[in-house]
Amino acid sequence: MNIIFIGARGAGKSKVSRNLSKQTEIPVVSTDSIAVYEAGGLPIPKFVDKNGWKAFRELEYSILQKLQNANGIILDCGGGILFDLDDVGNEIVSQRKLDLLRKIGRIVYLERGIEELVEKVKGDKTRPDLSKVTSYKQILEKRLPVYQEAAHFKLNLSKLSKEEAVERILDWLGLKSK
């Protein structure tokens, strides 16, 4: 069984997935880390500057194709994993990636409020701008319902510690910590 974390930037996917890994000894695989590796070590913001978001979304799809037969991993997905770009560059739901994610494992949506997310990522230079014309808040307003719909399990982290979050996920999965 695989456990997949989705959610917006700043939701806490990486922290919760690492904490869950410590509790279960299930290894964590990060789509963003694999993307950097596959790009020859080029950080994601530089990859996007050089190649564009459409190329990055294709890279994510390629990564999911490679992971579709994985077993026994925690998959920490980048915030845009459920999205692609149309021919004119507008963000659209990626049914092809959602289908692969559902094939790979059980999807956990880690959620927070929009204002909290905007505040958490403000000024973070390790994350490329998602758009030159649309604010992160506007992007979140469109993305959050998609995360909700895609998930098998939803967990709001606004008032939970990462330890409490892990306990709830373990309960949902019917697993015990080590």
Annotated binding site for Mg(2+): 14
Q: Name residues whose C-beta falls within 8 Å of residue 170's C-beta, 6 or more positions apart in sequence.
A: 20, 23, 24, 176, 177
Binding residues for ATP: 10-15, 127
Residue 125 carries which side chain, given as an amino acid letter? K
Binding residues: 10-15, 32, 57, 79, 127, 143
Half-sphere exposure of 2 (CA within 13 A, CB side): 23
Could you tell me the two tokens for 11? Answer: 């939701």
Could you tell me the two tokens for 139? Answer: 């992007």
Binding residues for substrate: 32, 57, 79, 143
Which strand (E) or helix (H) includes residue 37? helix 31-38
- Residue 91 forms beta bridges with which residues? 85
Contact between 118 and 140 under an 8 Å Cβ cutoff? The reply is yes
Residue 123 carries which side chain, given as an amino acid letter? G
* Cα gap 107→104, rounded to integer Å: 9
